[in-house]
């Protein structure tokens, strides 16, 4: 083994395959965990399933893996119907939340586990090199740190050259700093290899950072599918708006030209938006203090270092804003006026 610490440049994966769910439903007894989900994952993209716990995102992942049977509907991977195939028959591997490293096997043996039949020992060492753990082959998993363990789990999944790589909340056991580092690495490896990946998380920041496409789920249903920016800027409904990032949902009136918040009106057009009484999403960073504009009174303020977070009671509802911190913090009860950037507004669909 020639140990070079530079990572090998991965060749684009010709195996990258699309995944398609058509009306997939999963019921456990009487409870429905997933209700007729439709989803297409483009080859070579990383799609994240995002939602609060119990929303069915892990169930979808496990159905793709073959670890749960599908009650109704059809699942195809690489244009092949795999609904009836068992997990072992599918060309899919998974990185588990608990890592699921075999405690009785060494690091290298863990990674080579799936290769036993194929007899390609070099591949395991390559995979270890890919995740930057070449020196650790003979260690026991328990001798590694959390981040290293997760890398082993990743290498073990990658080494199979799967058509689809699944991640089940892989970073939830790591600390914040390591999490950011690992997610960047996962994204880099995924993009280098051009592999199709489905990623489950409940952390919206992680989802936005890592994904090509994010699927937001709630109570067994898919709420919205879109790019991170889509979701942030143009959420399909209040749930998505609220779940992704900080959101102010304000009452307003809209007549196609003007958007009215109480006594203040702004010129605004949004093709296809409903008119009349509407709800408008305004992200905190699109709001600033000004001399004119929507009047309100500060009900709470919190110093967060780089910025200060205020909650302001206005005619259109409570507004959360987070301007850069200044030397003085405005006291509660201060009367302020708010200005909205018009490209930071979005009228939610009816």
Partner 1 sequence: MQPALLLWPLLGLLAFCVLPWAREGRAFLAGGPSGLSLLETLPVLWVPLIALIATLGLSFLGRAARAPPTLIAALAGFLVTAFFIVFRNEPADLGALITALALLSVTGMALSDTGMIKADRFIASSTLWVGLFLILFVMFPLYKVLRGAFGETGFSLEAFRSVLTSPAFFVLENETTARSEATLALIATVVGGVAGLGLSLWRRRPVWATVRNTVLAALGVGIFAAMYFGFGSLRNSVLLSVSVAAVCTALALGFALLGTRSRASFGPYLFVPLALAGYAIGSLASSTPQTAGLGILFKAAGVLAAVGLAWWLTRRRITASKLLGVFSLLPIITPPFVIGFALIFLLGRQGLITKDILGLDTDALLGPLGVGIAQTLAFTPIAYLVLVGVVKSLNGTLEEAAVTLGASRWHVLKTVIWPLVRPGLANAFLLTIIESLTDFGNPFVMGGSFLATEVYFAVEFNPAEASVYGTVLLALSVSAILAQQAWLGRTSFTTITGKPAAGMVTPLPPVLERVLLFVFMVWVLFVGAVYGSMFFGALVKLWGFDNTFTTEHILNLSVGSLGVFFNTLKIAAISSLPVLVLSVVIAYLITRQKFFGRGFIELGSLLSFAVPGTVIGIGYILALNSGFAYMTGTMLILIVAFIFRNMPVGIRSAVANLRQIDPALEEASTTLRAGSLTTLWRVVMPLIRPALISALIFAFVRAMTAISQIIFLISPDHKVVTSEVLSMVERGQLGDAAALSALLVFTLAVVIALMTWGVGRMGGSQAGVSV
Q: Of the listed pieces 62-70, 235-243, 284-292, 328-336, which binds partner 1 according to CB under 8 A?
A: 62-70
Instruction: Among 35, 36, 65, 320, indicate the residue that binds partner 1 (CB under 8 A).
Output: 65
Instruction: Indicate whether 105 belongs to the interface with partner 1 (CB under 8 A).
Output: yes
Q: Of the listed pieces 105-113, 217-225, 294-302, 315-323, which binds partner 1 according to CB under 8 A?
A: 105-113
Query: Least distance from C-beta 217 to partner 1, angstroms?
Result: 21
Instruction: Indicate whether 200 belongs to the interface with partner 1 (CB under 8 A).
Output: no
**Helix (H) / strand (E) containing 92:** strand 92-95
Q: Of the listed pieces 45-53, 116-124, 200-208, 270-278, which binds partner 1 according to CB under 8 A?
A: 116-124
Neighbour-count burial of 230, counting CB atoms closer than 10 A to its CB (0-12 exposed, 13-18 middle, 19+ buried): middle
Instruction: Among 10, 35, 87, 266, indicate the residue that binds partner 1 (CB under 8 A).
Output: 87
- Residue among 239, 257, 259 at smallest CA distance from 346: 259
Instruction: Among 12, 40, 72, 102, indicate the residue that binds partner 1 (CB under 8 A).
Output: 102
Could you tell me if 39 and 221 are in contact, meaning their C-beta atoms sit under 8 angstroms apart? no
Of 152 and 348, which CB lies nearer to partner 1 in the complex structure? 152
Instruction: Indicate whether 19 belongs to the interface with partner 1 (CB under 8 A).
Output: no
Total number of residues that touch partner 1 (CB under 8 A):
48
DSSP letter string over 66-81? TSS--SEEEEEETTEE
Distance of alpha carbon 102 from alpha carbon 105, whole angstroms? 6
Query: Least distance from C-beta 30 to partner 1, angstroms?
Result: 16
Query: Least distance from C-beta 45 to partner 1, angstroms?
Result: 20
Largest CA-CA distance found in the chain, in angstroms, rounded: 74
Instruction: Indicate whether 96 belongs to the interface with partner 1 (CB under 8 A).
Output: yes
DSSP letter string over 99-120? ----TTS-HHHHHHGGGTTTT-
Instruction: Indicate whether 258 belongs to the interface with partner 1 (CB under 8 A).
Output: no
Could you tell me if 240 and 349 are in contact, meaning their C-beta atoms sit under 8 angstroms apart? no
The two structure tokens encoding residue 291: 């001399």
Strand partners, 92: 164
Helix (H, G, I), strand (E, B) or coil at 310: strand
Instruction: Indicate whether 262 belongs to the interface with partner 1 (CB under 8 A).
Output: no
Q: What is the DSSP letter of 292?
A: S
Instruction: Among 13, 16, 99, 218, indicate the residue that binds partner 1 (CB under 8 A).
Output: 99
Q: Are strands 196-201 and 46-50 parallel, antiparallel or unpaired?
A: parallel
Instruction: Indicate whether 67 belongs to the interface with partner 1 (CB under 8 A).
Output: yes
The strands making up 46-50's β-sheet, listed across from edge to edge, are 92-95, 164-168, 196-201, 46-50, 213-218, 221-226
Helix (H, G, I), strand (E, B) or coil at 311: strand
Question: Binding pattern to partner 1, positions 168-197, x when CB under 8 A?
Answer: -----x------------------------
Instruction: Indicate whether 23 belongs to the interface with partner 1 (CB under 8 A).
Output: no
Question: Binding pattern to partner 1, positions 126-165, x when CB under 8 A?
Answer: ------------x-xxxxx----x---x--xx--x-----
Dihedral (Cα; 325, 331, 332, 338), 10-degree rounding? -50
Instruction: Indicate whether 100 belongs to the interface with partner 1 (CB under 8 A).
Output: yes
Q: Of the listed pieces 17-25, 84-92, 207-215, 274-282, which binds partner 1 according to CB under 8 A?
A: 84-92
Instruction: Among 50, 60, 92, 249, indicate the residue that binds partner 1 (CB under 8 A).
Output: 92
Instruction: Indicate whether 79 belongs to the interface with partner 1 (CB under 8 A).
Output: no
**Residue numbers at the binding site for partner 1 (CB under 8 A):** 65-67, 69, 83-84, 86-90, 92-94, 96-106, 108-109, 112-117, 121, 124, 138, 140-144, 149, 153, 156-157, 160, 166, 173
């Amino acid at each position: 083994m020639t140990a070079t610490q530079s990572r090998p440049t991965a060749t684009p994966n010709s195996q990258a395959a699309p995944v398609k769910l058509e009306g997939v439903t999963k019921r456990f007894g009487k409870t429905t965990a997933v209700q007729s989900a439709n989803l297409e994952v483009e080859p070579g993209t990383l799609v994240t399933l995002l939602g609060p716990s119990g929303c069915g995102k892990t169930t979808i992942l496990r159905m793709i893996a073959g670890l749960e049977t599908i009650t109704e509907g059809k699942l195809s991977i690489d244009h092949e119907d795999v609904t009836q195939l068992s997990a072992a028959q599918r060309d899919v591997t998974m990185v588990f939340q608990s890592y699921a490293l075999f405690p009785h096997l060494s690091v290298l043996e863990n990674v080579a586990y799936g290769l036993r039949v194929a007899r390609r020992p070099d591949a395991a060492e390559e995979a270890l090199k890919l995740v930057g753990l070449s020196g650790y082959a003979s260690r026991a998993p328990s001798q590694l740190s959390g981040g290293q363990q997760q890398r082993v789990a990743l290498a073990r999944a990658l080494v199979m050259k799967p058509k689809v790589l699944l991640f089940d909340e892989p970073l939830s056991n790591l600390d914040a700093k390591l999490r950011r580092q690992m997610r960047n690495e996962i994204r880099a490896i995924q993009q280098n290899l051009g592999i199709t990946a489905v990623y489950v998380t409940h952390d919206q920041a992680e989802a936005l950072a890592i994904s090509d496409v994010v699927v937001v789920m709630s109570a067994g249903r898919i709420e919205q599918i879109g790019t991170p920016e889509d979701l942030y800027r143009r959420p399909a409904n209040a749930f998505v708006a609220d779940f992704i990032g900080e959101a102010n949902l304000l009452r307003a009136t809209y007549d196609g030209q003007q958007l009215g918040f109480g006594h203040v009106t702004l010129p605004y057009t949004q093709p296809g938006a409903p008119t009349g009484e509407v709800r408008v999403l305004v992200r905190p960073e699109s709001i600033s203090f000004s001399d004119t504009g929507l009047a309100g009174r500060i009900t709470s303020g919190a110093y967060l270092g780089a910025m200060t977070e205020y909650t302001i009671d206005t005619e259109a509802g409570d507004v959360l804003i987070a301007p850069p911190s200044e030397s003085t913090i405005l006291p509660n009860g201060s009367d302020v006026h708010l200005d909205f950037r018009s490209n930071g507004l979005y009228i939610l669909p009816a």
